[in-house]
């Protein structure tokens, strides 16, 4: 199996559904206030996955206090389980990723923190133990995001951290969930005040490359040689930009079978970069995206209206969250006013997944004091598929 096939097989097998295209629904959302318990913390990141092995999607939040865990009853009704199932933590978590880092068949959780990053191993039932001291390198990098993927082709999940105060970090997994920092030897230095990142095979050579969203400098693209040695090709492959980017989503937006990129930007226009298939990107924002200067802090992709293409959800701070529908060629229409309830609650993160088991994509927004679940009220799907792979102020 090719290297990208290995990581995609791992993601699919364990239900890490950061975006999950489905067909047959209309993409009209309703706020489901009673299905998700209230939370007074600021949640900076959110992920979905089957954490307790019962076949539905649970929710985990990266918080400014105790991180949050909510278990799903299968119908999209969630129960708080952090007190019983998560280690106690008092550091500020900015982002997280889920994946089976120790090869035991369940989803573990890795957190990007202001101080020491953390790794929690899952026992398979959704009960997590903190193995940071024995499994992660010591750090004080003020990490804002983290992504998991097999970057060196050995069949296990490695970790890349997006850092604010130091260079970004590459940690290789020994297969048992113990990580080694190889940043100096295998990763270009980048002091760009990074806030988000994403992995994907942008140049079609069957390995995972990485894109970084930077606050104070040029966004970056690193290409992988297949063994986890990365080269910075930003100057030759990326448009010039200084947009105060926060997070990224990746997926085929124009139907040409290569991954394109969306940047969520703070107080500047969000950006759409189209891939020519070789990993060289063109800024198509002016022609393809609606004209808005928002305070966007996160973005997610998925087929919310059942027309077999990827649509966009933006999480905006102190402004209305947004829904853009794709016409199939990568041209987007803002349908927020008809598809999403009015809100200005301060969204910090967003993820898509079918939480109520009806075959369409629902939305979870991480917020500044109250997280929100929006249920997709469209028709049932006739086909369910998988797509995609995913820091901050």
With bands split at pLDDT 50, 70 and 90, how would you rate the model's confidence at 212? very high
- Residue 231: per-residue pLDDT: 98
Average pLDDT of the segment spanning 18-40: 71
Buried b (16+ CB within 10 A) or exposed e, 111-132: bbbbebbbbbbbeeebbbebbb
Q: Looking at residue 47, which CATH number applies to its domain?
A: 2.130.10.130
Asked whether residue 104 is domain-assigned, the answer is yes
Asked whether residue 16 is domain-assigned, the answer is no
pLDDT tens string 51-66: 999 999 999 999 999 9
Asked whether residue 300 is domain-assigned, the answer is yes
- Residue 369: per-residue pLDDT: 78
Asked whether residue 1 is domain-assigned, the answer is no
Give burial (CB, 10 Å; 0-12/13-18/19+) of 47. buried
- Residue 1: per-residue pLDDT: 39
Asked whether residue 20 is domain-assigned, the answer is no
Asked whether residue 275 is domain-assigned, the answer is yes
Asked whether residue 235 is domain-assigned, the answer is yes
pLDDT tens string 172-194: 999 999 999 999 999 998 776 99
Could you tell me the residue range of the domain that residue 40 belongs to?
A: 26-379
| Cα angle: 322, vertex 323, 329; to 5 degrees | 135
- Residue 392: per-residue pLDDT: 57
**Long-range contacts: 153-160, Cβ < 8 Å, 24+?**
153/3, 153/6, 153/207, 153/226, 153/227, 153/228, 155/6, 156/101, 156/103, 157/7, 157/10, 157/99, 157/100, 157/101, 158/228, 159/97, 159/101, 159/110, 160/197, 160/199, 160/210
- Our count of domains for the chain comes to 1
With bands split at pLDDT 50, 70 and 90, how would you rate the model's confidence at 391? low
Percent of the chain with pLDDT over 90: 79
- Residue 334: per-residue pLDDT: 96
- With a cut of 80, say whether residue 15 has pLDDT above it: no
- With a cut of 90, say whether residue 249 has pLDDT above it: yes
- Residue 90: per-residue pLDDT: 84
- With a cut of 90, say whether residue 24 has pLDDT above it: no
Asked whether residue 391 is domain-assigned, the answer is no
With bands split at pLDDT 50, 70 and 90, how would you rate the model's confidence at 10? very low
Pairwise CA distance, residues 32 & 350, whole Å: 15
- With a cut of 80, say whether residue 393 has pLDDT above it: no
């Amino acid at each position: 199996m090719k290297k990208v096939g290995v990581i995609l097989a791992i993601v699919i097998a364990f239900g890490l559904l950061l975006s999950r295209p489905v067909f047959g629904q209309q993409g009209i959302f309703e706020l489901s206030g009673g299905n998700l318990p209230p939370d007074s913390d600021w949640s900076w990141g959110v992920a979905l996955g089957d954490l307790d092995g019962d076949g539905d999607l649970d929710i985990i939040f990266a918080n400014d206090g105790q991180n949050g865990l909510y278990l799903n009853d299968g119908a999209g009704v969630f129960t708080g389980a952090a007190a019983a199932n998560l280690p106690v933590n008092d550091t500020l978590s900015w982002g997280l990723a889920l994946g089976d880092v120790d090869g035991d068949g369940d989803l573990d959780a890795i957190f990007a923190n202001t101080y020491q990053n953390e790794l929690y191993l899952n026992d398979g039932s959704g009960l997590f133990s903190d193995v940071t001291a024995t499994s992660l390198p010591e750090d004080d990098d003020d990490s804002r995001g983290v992504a998991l993927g097999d970057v060196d082709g050995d069949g296990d999940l490695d970790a890349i951290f997006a850092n604010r105060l130091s260079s970004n970090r590459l940690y290789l997994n020994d297969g048992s969930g113990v990580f080694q920092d190889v940043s100096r030897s295998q990763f270009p230095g980048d002091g760009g005040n990074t806030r988000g990142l994403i992995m994907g095979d942008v140049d079609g050579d069957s390995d995972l490359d990485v894109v970084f969203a930077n606050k104070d400098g040029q966004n970056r693209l690193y290409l992988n040689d297949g063994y986890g040695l990365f080269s910075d090709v930003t100057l030759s492959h990326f448009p010039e930009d200084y947009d105060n980017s926060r997070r990224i989503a990746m997926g085929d937006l124009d139907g040409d079978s290569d991954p394109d990129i969306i940047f969520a930007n703070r107080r500047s226009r969000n950006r759409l970069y189209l891939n020519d298939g070789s990993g060289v990107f063109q800024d198509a924002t002016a022609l393809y995206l609606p004209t808005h200067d928002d305070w966007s802090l996160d973005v997610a992709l998925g087929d919310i209206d059942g027309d077999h293409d990827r649509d966009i959800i933006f999480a905006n701070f102190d402004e209305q969250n947004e829904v853009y529908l794709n016409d199939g060629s990568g041209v987007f229409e803002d349908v927020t006013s008809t598809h999403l309830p009015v809100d200005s609650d301060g969204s910090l993160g967003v993820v898509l997944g079918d939480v109520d088991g009806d075959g369409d994509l629902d939305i979870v927004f991480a917020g500044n004091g109250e997280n929100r679940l929006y249920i997709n009220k469209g028709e049932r799907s006739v086909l369910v598929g998988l797509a995609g792979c995913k820091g901050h102020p």
